[in-house]
Amino acid sequence: MPAAAATTTSDRIHISACPVCGTRDFRPFVTVGPYSVVRCPSCRLAITNPQPSDRELGEIYGPDYVLVENDPVGEAMVLRSKRATADHYLDLLAAAGVPSTGKLLEIGCGAGNVLRQAAARGFDITGLEYSPYAAERARKTLEGRGRILHGEIGVLAAERDAYDVVVLCDVIEHVRHPADFLRDLHRLLKPGGTLLVVTPSLDSWSARVLGSRWMEFKAEHLYYFSPSTISRQLTGAGYERIALHSGTKKLCLDYIAAHFKKYPVSVVTPLVSFLHALTPAPLSNRLFSIVASGLVALARKPGAPA
Ligand SMILES: [Zn+2]
């Protein structure tokens, strides 16, 4: 029916209480396209409010949503960067004393690059992916190793106390009900199991420098955390021993230039293009560590590991 296809804003979802602290009185913060982002005056969580409707989100999460280049050189560059970043997250788990022999679940596994690196270290891997396109791609990446499920978290409801590690990379900011979601993951973890959360941070240098032009302000990001708000959200969902790290990504200038070409940011995109054009190929292709826009939180489910 034509009426159903028309864009309306009436089915957008209003958030009445802060999911971290319960405060009901928000302050204006920034505008992201047609959406307003407000800030909780008590805990400083930023909330897209009202939030895009399910249909609006469905239009955003199309086949192109996961950054995949058609040019094979571009794809190799993206893969190299994503796998090096995945190794960094796995190194953080190892440094926290988590053995790489257990069962690891990644929610929102995308094209499966974190799972691939985890399988190479010895983890028994499971991935859950909402996008059927990305799930299919993850199966190709893993070449028969582990298990890739397609759907939402409800498909794992029967697997209580099943996982040693749950990984959540750039997912929690997309979730409508983060507190409920973290409690669902808590049930999936074994006692003593570890959750690793990667999410953009409002306290990152890029957020502070870029202000309202921060590249993480996107219509599909429903919440914007910081070390303090993610810690409170995790504690409230039953986790303990929370450890926070700056989100380090392994990038090269070629990757950064491709990213800002796909997601233009005024001033930043022309500046990055200019630097990229000046940099000789061997240098622009070299991976380096950059503390970019995110945070990494490790949290434990109480109880002794089996
Ligand atoms: Zn709050």
pLDDT tens by residue, the chain, 306 residues: 333 344 567 799 999 999 999 999 999 999 999 999 999 999 999 999 999 999 998 888 877 676 455 555 577 777 888 899 999 999 999 999 999 999 999 999 999 999 999 999 999 999 999 888 889 999 999 999 999 999 999 999 999 999 999 999 999 999 999 999 999 999 999 999 999 999 999 999 999 999 999 989 999 999 999 999 999 999 999 999 999 999 888 888 888 888 888 888 888 899 999 999 999 888 888 888 888 799 999 999 999 865
- 213 C-alpha to ligand 1 centroid (Å): 23
Q: Is residue 179 part of a domain?
A: yes
CB burial string 122-148: b at 16+ within 10 A, e below = ebbbbbbbbbebbbebbbebbeebbeb
CA 220 to ligand 1 centroid distance, Å: 20
Residue 2, in any domain of the structure: no
As for how many domains the chain has, the answer is 2
Q: List the Cα angle 299/248/110 in 5-degree steps.
A: 75
306 located within any domain? no
Residue 305 lies in a domain: no
Q: How far is the CA of 268 from the centre of ligand 1 (A)?
A: 31
**Beta-ladder partners of 127:** 106, 148
Residue whose entry in the numeric block shows the structure tokens 């392994």: 250
Looking at the structure, tell me whether residues 201 and 241 fall in a common domain: yes
Ligand 1 centroid from CA 186, angstroms: 22
Same domain, 124 and 266: no
Q: How much distance in Å is there from the Cα of 233 to the middle of ligand 1?
A: 10
How far, in Å, from the CA of 21 to the mean position of ligand 1?
A: 4
Q: Looking at the structure, do residues 57 and 184 belong to the same domain, yes or no? A: yes
Distance (Å) from CA 45 to ligand 1 centroid: 5
Q: Is 58 part of any domain?
A: yes
The answer to the question of residue 8 being in a domain is no
- Give yes or no: residues 265 and 238 share one domain: no
Q: What gap in Å lies between CA 97 and CA 113, rounded to an integer? A: 22
Domain presence at residue 4: no
Task: State whether 232 and 267 are in the same domain.
Answer: no
Under DSSP, the state recorded for 158 is: T
261 in the same domain as 151: no
Residue 302 CA, ligand 1 centroid: distance in Å: 25
User: If you measure from the C-alpha of residue 11 to the centroid of ligand 1, how many angstroms do you get, rounded to a whole number?
Assistant: 24
Q: Is 207 exposed, middle or buried (0-12, 13-18, 19+ CB in 10 A)?
A: buried
CA of 26 to the centre of ligand 1 (A): 9
pLDDT digits (tens, 9 = 90+) for 244-287: 999 888 888 888 888 888 888 888 899 999 999 999 888 888 88
Residues 6 or more apart whose CB falls under 8 angstroms from that of 104 comprise 115, 118, 123, 124, 125, 126, 163, 164, 165, 166, 167
**CA-CA distance, 283 to 59, in Å (whole number)?**
37
Q: Say if residue 282 is in the same domain as residue 185.
A: no
Q: What is the pLDDT of residue 67?
A: 45
Closest CA to 139 of 115, 172, 107, 174: 115
Q: How close is the Cα of 86 to the center of ligand 1, in Å?
A: 31
* 237 Cα: distance to centroid of ligand 1 (angstroms): 15
Contacts of 123 (CB under 8 A, 6+ apart): 100, 101, 102, 103, 104, 165
- The C-alpha angle with vertex 291 and arms to 164 and 275, in degrees rounded to 5, equals 140
Q: Which helix (H) or strand (E) holds 206?
A: helix 205-210
Residue 57 maps to which CATH number? Answer: 3.40.50.150
From ligand 1's centre to the CA of 235, what distance in Å?
14
Evaluate whether 169 touches 89 at the Cβ level (below 8 Å): yes
Q: Rounded to the nearest whole angstrom, what is the distance from the C-alpha of residue 171 to the centroid of ligand 1?
A: 20
155 in the same domain as 53: yes
* Residue 44 alpha carbon to ligand 1 centre in Å: 6
CA distance 109 to 126: 9
Same domain, 65 and 149: yes
> Is the previous residue joined to 200 through a cis bond, with omega within 30 degrees of 0?
no
Helix, strand, coil shares of the chain, percent, nearest 5, are 40, 25, 35
Are 248 and 278 part of one and the same domain? no
Please tell me the distance between residue 173's alpha carbon and the centre of ligand 1 in angstroms. Answer: 15
CA of 19 to the centre of ligand 1 (A): 7
Tokens of 124: 């028994």
User: Are 177 and 235 in a shared domain?
Assistant: yes
Instruction: Please give the distance, rounded to the nearest whole angstrom, from the Cα atom of residue 25 to the centre of ligand 1.
Output: 9
CA of 18 to the centre of ligand 1 (A): 5
- Note down the domain range covering 219: 13-252+287-300
Distance CA 255, CA 261 (A): 10
What are the angstrom distances between the C-alpha of 274 and each of 215, 289, 291? Answer: 18, 21, 21
Residue where the block lists tokens 């679940």: 105
User: How many angstroms is it from 216 CA to the middle of ligand 1?
Assistant: 20
Q: How far is CA 205 from the centre of its chain?
A: 18
> Would you say residue 1 lies in a domain?
no
C-alpha of residue 57 to centroid of ligand 1, in Å = 24
Residue 73's pLDDT is what? 54
Q: Are residues 177 and 259 in the same domain?
A: no
